Amino acid sequence: MTWPGIATESASAVAQGAGGARRAVVEWLGRRPYAPLLERQRALQQQVAAGEAPDTLLLVEHDPVVTLGRREDRAGIPVPEALARAGIAVVPTERGGNVTYHGPGQLVAYPILDLRALDEDVVRFMRSLEESIIRTVGDFGIAAGRRRGYPGVWVEEAKIAAVGVAVKRRVTMHGFALNVAPDLAHFSFINPCGLGREVTSMAMVLGRPVPLANVRARTAARFAEVYALDLIPVTRSALVGAAESDSVPAPA
């Protein structure tokens, strides 16, 4: 199947560097634990920096996990015992920001991109991430925007998407988490991003279920639009070896 707005050539075409828009791979990984994806990001970041792999957008839904950014001293986890009782791990990372939660019903995007194409401008990269999210939720009738001084995407006073990245050797990793229809009660275990503000989801704003498959299709299309990329889908995950990964659906 194809995603609207995304190139459908074979993944081998990425390495050929044909004319036109810059090319990158997009891969849907389904639901995965966090730790293997963190290691995969780190490996891909090194490969992209060395010119051994193309720019890549990984899309995934995680098992419940709390991650810490560089500025987090665990003060954003008021009752650590509550996380332990719920079986939710806490994982330190190299991304910017504070504490955040990932879990089922949330679409997480990890762009592994060479920043030289954006003049090594990290702020521009972050604002573009936010713009791609704003356009995505707008496709579903949600008016979202930025809040000065607070990274991420907001619907009025509530945060609908968290953004946090790391850059090494001019290549990005980490990215954003868009709340499609997660269990918002899990956010009560933390002080999201250290802001002490309400968290919302697309399902809550719209008052109806929102299929994650539809959102990931629009997310990829809008990401490609904002970053002027031809995204080439791949259908086999390096994490599962020879097993077939989830197919890429078209939005309803």
Q: Which residues are catalytic?
A: 193
Q: Give 43's contacts (C-beta < 8 A, 6+ positions apart).
A: none
Cα separation values, 244 from 10, 99, 126, 238, 239, Å: 16, 33, 32, 10, 10
Q: Which residues are bridge partners to 242 per DSSP?
A: none
Output DSSP code: residue 114. B
CB-count burial class (<10 Å; 0-12, 13-18, 19+) for 94: middle
Radius of gyration of the chain (CA): 17
